[in-house]
Amino acid sequence: MNATFYVASIVAVLTTMLVITRAHVVHALLYLVVSLLSLALVFYSLGAPFAAALEVIVYAGAIVVLFVFVVMMLNLGRHTAPRERRWLTPAVWLGPGLFCAVLLGELIYTFYAGLPGREGVNVVPSQLVGMTLFGPYVLAVELASMLLLAGLVGAYHLGRKEHLER
């Protein structure tokens, strides 16, 4: 299971790199699906099967489909790819890349120098997650449902047709 974790995490990192560098939006979304699936494998190998299932169902299933719908509605893809490629010059990558590398180095330093983190991970069964979710965290579930309702109303309001034509 160790090898599973390492292979899946390498695949996740590589496909995420491909996601942020692709000029074609649909290609980026397809790489995002691979990245999310490999992250689901990481969750499974870390003993979180429920999170792994949710990652596949909600992220790779629902959220990416939303993106694909919007790309289809706006008819993006082939004709926008050259312009996108023009935006992604090496000069654009230089500054953000440098600062993000500094941030990553700092995070790595924190993980390896500051905290005692040598212990392994354990399985958290789905039953425990469900019991805790609808036990002490039931208020958070209600709040999440209200957030989703607000997101639904907001998306409906913003996506109205007469609103679009103005």
Partner 1 sequence: MPVANVALNQALLLAAVLFTLGLLGLLVRRNLIMMLVCLEIMLNAAGLAFVVAGSRWQQADGQIMFILILALAAAEVAVGLALALQFYHRFHTLDADAASDLRG
Could you give the CA distance from residue 142 to residue 131 in angstroms, rounded to a whole number? 15
Residue 100 binds to partner 1 (criterion: CB under 8 A): yes
Residue closer to partner 1 (CB basis): 49 or 78: 49
Residue 43 binds to partner 1 (criterion: CB under 8 A): yes
| Interface mask toward partner 1 for 106-125; x: CB under 8 A | -xx--xx--x-xxxxxxxxx
Residue 91 binds to partner 1 (criterion: CB under 8 A): no
Residue 30 binds to partner 1 (criterion: CB under 8 A): no
Give the DSSP per-residue string, 7-45.
Answer: HHHHHHHHHHHHHHH-SSHHHHHHHHHHHHHHHHHHHHH
Residue 147 binds to partner 1 (criterion: CB under 8 A): yes
Shortest Å, Cβ 10 to partner 1: 9
Residue 90 binds to partner 1 (criterion: CB under 8 A): no
Q: How many residues does the chain have?
A: 166
Q: Chain centroid to CA 10: how far?
A: 16
Helices then strands (H, E): number in the chain?
Answer: 9, 0
Backbone angles phi, psi at 119, to 5 degrees: -75, 155
Residue 49 binds to partner 1 (criterion: CB under 8 A): yes
Residue 73 binds to partner 1 (criterion: CB under 8 A): yes
Residue 67 binds to partner 1 (criterion: CB under 8 A): yes
